[in-house]
Structure 1
Amino acid sequence: MTAVQESLMTTEEFEELARAADHIAEGVRLEFINGKLGVKAVPDGDHGCIIEWLIRACLLLRPDLWLFQEQGLKVDAYRAGRARPDGALAPSGVFAGQPEWADPSPVVMVVEVTSHDQDTERRDRQEKPKAYASTGIPIYLLIDRELCAVVVHSEPVDDRYKRVETVSFGAMVNLPKPLDIKLDTEPLKDWVR
């Protein structure tokens, strides 16, 4: 017998709740992944420096793309989930005129930077790779501050990525096609506490 997991709310109910949270509580960011409501930690200064580093690197290596911060995306196979990755690398200007929760098809890479909270293991290392893979996003880049490593997930198949490569901070990391670029992760050592 297979257990069926039912969501506690509909996608429409979640979107209404997320809009209300934006107006009521500054700094609260909600997500809805695999039928579960989640709260993302408010980023600290080191988190911001990591995103700045990645924006500069991507702009230098792929000026046709932009790293959109906190862009709401529809995720999972049935589009019933909603995520706000720390970064969504996509063609410049592609989200113009899009609603708060945009179609993820133009996104070539999503980025998450781990936070110092108890939910990181479940959210960033387990649920998000499945959600992003099932959506067909080619690359999921996890910058894991706890492990001092960059984890590159690529080649999405169903609800998983076939290739997962872990590189310690300080080494060169290859972001495979469709990006096909290399990043020097040495600067990431400066933003680990």
Structure 2
Amino acid sequence: MTPSPADHAPRAELSVEEFEQLARSAPETVTLELINGKLEVKPVPDGDHDEIIMWVAMQCMQQRPELRLYRERGLRIGGYRNGRVRPDGTLARAGRFAGDGEWSEPDRVLMTVEVTSHDHDTDSRDRVEKRDGYASAAIPVYLLVDRDDNTLVVHSEPEKGRYRRQTTYAYGDSVHLPGPVDITLDSEELKNYTA
């Protein structure tokens, strides 16, 4: 099969305004994000994905009851890239997003959480693009629960658009989330959610 000229045409980047209009009109079953100017469709989470997010939420609330882990809260990230993302979890003080519209500024967000999905885009999306976007937004901690290799990766100390520190833990390890989060996760339960 001969590729058509459209197969090699550069893809136009969406403006933030175009993206927000598209996101507002998308069906409830579709979650859209704008990362590095590219339209991304966030996969529908499976049951293990949901259980992992609830596991993080419960441990955070037990140790720091003044905090909440908000699911898929729309954030403006990426500095000059004007990105729009919906992290699997956004940790902030209770009431932080009161009065906000669909998209919030990342100030006063303590941590974002992503759980990898079993799709072809998870490597670039969760491990690189979102990590860099969260760092450029100066979000203090980014927790990646990587289901491909059964690890938790804690990114911290954002500086100049990059996280200076990255610590990897295996499922079952005691996982310290540094300040301003200051929570230690007992990750033994994650062994129940491996494929």
1:14 aligns with 2:4: no
Shift of 1:37: 1.0
Task: Give the 3-state SS of the residue equivalent to 2:152 in structure 1.
Answer: strand
Residue in 1 that maps onto 2:61 = 59
Shift of 1:20: 1.1
Query: Number of residues paired by the alignment?
Result: 186
Query: Residue 13 of structure 2 aligns to which amino acid in structure 1?
Result: L
Task: Give the 3-state SS of the residue equivalent to 2:167 in structure 1.
Answer: strand
Shift of 1:52: 1.0
* Deviation by residue 1:160-185 (Cα, 9 ceiling, x = unmatched): 10000000000001100111221111
Match of 1:80 among 82, 95, 102: 82
Residue in 1 that maps onto 2:105 = 103
Residue in 2 that maps onto 1:154 = 156
Q: Which runs of 5+ in 2 are unaligned?
A: 1-10
- Equivalent-residue separation in structure 1 for 2:62 and 2:138 (angstroms): 26
- Equivalent-residue separation in structure 2 for 1:96 and 1:89 (angstroms): 14
Residue in 2 that maps onto 1:178 = 180
Residue in 2 that maps onto 1:50 = 52
Residue in 1 that maps onto 2:114 = 112
Query: Residue 190 of structure 1 aligns to which amino acid in structure 2?
Result: N
Task: Give the 3-state SS of the residue equivalent to 1:140 in structure 2.
Answer: strand
Task: Give the 3-state SS of the residue equivalent to 1:155 in structure 2.
Answer: strand
- Equivalent-residue separation in structure 2 for 1:8 and 1:182 (angstroms): 40
1:130 aligns with 2:132: yes
Q: Which runs of 5+ in 1 are unaligned?
A: 1-5
* Deviation by residue 1:139-160 (Cα, 9 ceiling, x = unmatched): 0000001110000000001221
Query: Residue 17 of structure 2 aligns to which amino acid in structure 1?
Result: E
Change (3 A) 1:70 1:136: same
Query: Residue 100 of structure 2 aligns to which amino acid in structure 1?
Result: Q
Residue in 1 that maps onto 2:41 = 39
Shift of 1:28: 1.1
- Equivalent-residue separation in structure 1 for 2:193 and 2:29 (angstroms): 21
- Equivalent-residue separation in structure 2 for 1:138 and 1:47 (angstroms): 23
RMSD, matched Cα: 1.4
* Deviation by residue 1:67-119 (Cα, 9 ceiling, x = unmatched): 00000000011361100000000010111110101111011000000001001
Shift of 1:127: 0.3
Aligned identity (percent) is: 55
**More deviation in 8-17 or 78-87?**
78-87
Report if aligned partners of 2:175, 2:185 keep a CA contact under 8 Å in 1. yes
Change (3 A) 1:36 1:79: closer
Change (3 A) 1:160 1:44: same
Shift of 1:36: 1.2
Query: Residue 193 of structure 2 aligns to which amino acid in structure 1?
Result: W
- Equivalent-residue separation in structure 2 for 1:123 and 1:79 (angstroms): 15
